[in-house]
Structure 1
Amino acid sequence: MSHSPPMVETKLAGVALVCGECEERKDGPSKLNARQVRKELKHGLSHMPVRLRVVQCSCLGLCPKKAIALAAVAQGHAPLAAEVCREDDVEAFAKAVAKSLK
């Protein structure tokens, strides 16, 4: 007998993922940390008409040098991924996500 978990509706349109392991690598970013990037991304996405949950996760498999990997996934939209080296890159990623979800 198989048992499937009950499915529930959410107000979230998707998730934005920030790799928490990039900053721990020896060739990781020197000026960014995942917590700071997560906070900036959350702020950058706050004006969107749909809600995305911004979470820190384990390795995304992108493993950029001197950068942090980001990804965004929303239902019905192609996934987006980026490597951010500066705070400006985080803002640009948030704008790209917002544009793709309109």
Structure 2
Amino acid sequence: MSHSPPLVEIKLSGVVLVCGDCEERSDGPAKLKAKQVRKELKRDLVHVPGRLRVVQSTCLGLCPKKAMALVAVAGGQQPIAAEVCRDDDVADFAKALSRSIR
């Protein structure tokens, strides 16, 4: 007899994954650190309806040259991904994400 685990309701409307392995690669971003990117995203996404969790993950399989990979699954929409090289790219990703889940 198969027993499935009980499902529970959560209050999160989505998750944003920041690749922590990108910063450690030799061809990774020169100035971005995963912890810094997480903080910026949390600050930029504070006004998004619902609650988003921003977490650092292991390799997402995107492995961009001189950039960091970000993936968001939120608001029942298709996942979106980005390759960020600068702080401006992180802010642009946050704006695009907030527009897509409103």
Q: Place the TM-score, normalised by the shorter chain, in its bin.
A: over 0.9
Percent of residue pairs bearing the same amino acid type:
71
Look up the match of 2:10: 10
Matches within 5 A, 1:14-93: 14-93=14-93
Query: TM-score scaled by structure 1?
Result: 0.96
Unaligned regions of 5+ residues in structure 1, if any?
none
Query: Per-residue displacement from partner, 1:41-94 (whole Å, max 9, x unpaired)?
Result: 111111111111000001111101111000000252011000000001001000
Unaligned regions of 5+ residues in structure 2, if any?
none
Query: TM-score scaled by structure 2?
Result: 0.96
Q: Is the 8 A contact 2:22 2:68 kept in 1?
A: yes
- Structure 1 moving runs of 4+ over 2 Å: none
Query: Per-residue displacement from partner, 1:28-47 (whole Å, max 9, x unpaired)?
Result: 01101111001101111111
Query: Per-residue displacement from partner, 1:12-36 (whole Å, max 9, x unpaired)?
Result: 0110000000000000011011110
Q: Is the 8 A contact 2:75 2:101 kept in 1?
A: no
- Tell me, in whole angstroms, the C-alpha distance in 2 between the residues paired with 1:16 and 1:85: 17
For 1:71, what is the secondary structure of its paired residue?
strand
- Tell me, in whole angstroms, the C-alpha distance in 2 between the residues paired with 1:47 and 1:76: 18
- RMSD over equivalenced CA pairs, Å: 0.9
- Are 2:81 and 1:94 equivalent residues in the alignment? no
